[in-house]
Amino acid sequence: MKKISETAAKITALDREAIKSAQARLDSLTKPQASLGRLEELAKQVAGITGKLNPPLKNKVIFTLAADHGIAREGVSAFPQEVTVQMVYNFLRGGAGINVLARHVGARVVVADMGVAGEIQSSKFKAQNFKDKKVDFGTKNFTQQPAMTKDQAIKAICAGIEIFEEELVTGIDIAGTGDMGIANTASSSAIVASITGTAVGDVTGRGTGIDDKALQNKIKLLEQALKLHKPDAKDALDVLSKVGGFEIGGLAGIILAAAAHKVPVVIDGFISGAAALLAYTLCPKAKDYMIAAHCSVERGHRIALEFMGLEPILDLDLRLGEGTGAALAMNIVDAAVKIMNEMATFESAQVSEKNN
């Protein structure tokens, strides 16, 4: 818990002078003021986060964290649990959606086993981008007992902080969050319902594509679990330990560490949104360092974003996770910063400004 508290204590308000300078720069460019809309807002946010008018965004990193969930045994996913470990191998081979999109935007993917229900034999891939931070071999079935102990919840968040800080040595200019874990939309729905106070039915979606009958069963199970455990909405560790997942806790740690080190962090989809809610509950100031990549098809994602006051950049009907939306949005954030720094000013281009 000490590591979490120390990390949160390092998170400060954004640099207002840098934001002011960024606004002045944007207003001097050869365009009508505010005509590039969200791009200008993103440029100012990144300036405020980094304290720099021309922050480098060369080192892009997507953190894809994987873990299994005991509630998968209740039939809340269209895919079997063994898919989690299989997909980790796919990440390490470079064949998953996130690998393709990360290559497209020039990002590196860091894969971590936070709690996969099996051993990952990463050595046979000679993977340099794999981290073994396993807390346990999957969570417990939280319809019957807490998903994890309080100590495991702390360990998961601390592991996320460690992963970020280990990679920081290599260089991180902008980070993105991603996930893999069969049944993790069930945990995310429970987290979002707990923290926002929204009805389970309003935040629970089809995940990997379950049918109507399975969806109703999923909602019923989550309602029963919340009634059983009564998570404390103001206590992120209580929520995580009772209905969360190890990868979700790890992602919350990634977000806190990014904010503590003044690195913009692009939040992916629903699972990342649930992790962001946990980080926000632990330290509300962390929200200013978050950039919402997109709005997932999962109905609870927008509710989570609205609760934190975050507006997604994209809306492409995505629901894959892995960090795919974060990778796409990174490109837009990069473009926003380049506009601010590479576009000519009225003065340098000798273009007449508007009449006063």
Q: Where are the beta strands (DSSP E) in the chain?
A: 60-67, 107-115, 130-132, 174-180, 265-267, 290-292
Catalytic residue (one of 223, 322, 342, 347): 322
Question: What gap in Å lies between CA 141 and CA 38, rounded to an integer?
Answer: 42
Question: Residue 308: which of 276, 351, 260 has the closest Cα?
Answer: 276
Annotation marks residue 306 as catalytic = no
The length of the chain in residues reads 356
CA distance 26 to 339: 8
- Distance separating alpha carbons of residues 61 and 163, to the nearest angstrom: 11
Selection from 322, 355, 303 nearest residue 100 by Cα: 322
Q: How far apart are CA 53 and CA 44, in angstroms?
A: 8
Helices (H), the chain: 2-9, 16-27, 37-50, 83-93, 97-105, 150-168, 184-196, 200-203, 212-229, 236-243, 246-260, 270-282, 299-308, 324-342, 346-349
Name the residues annotated as catalytic: 322
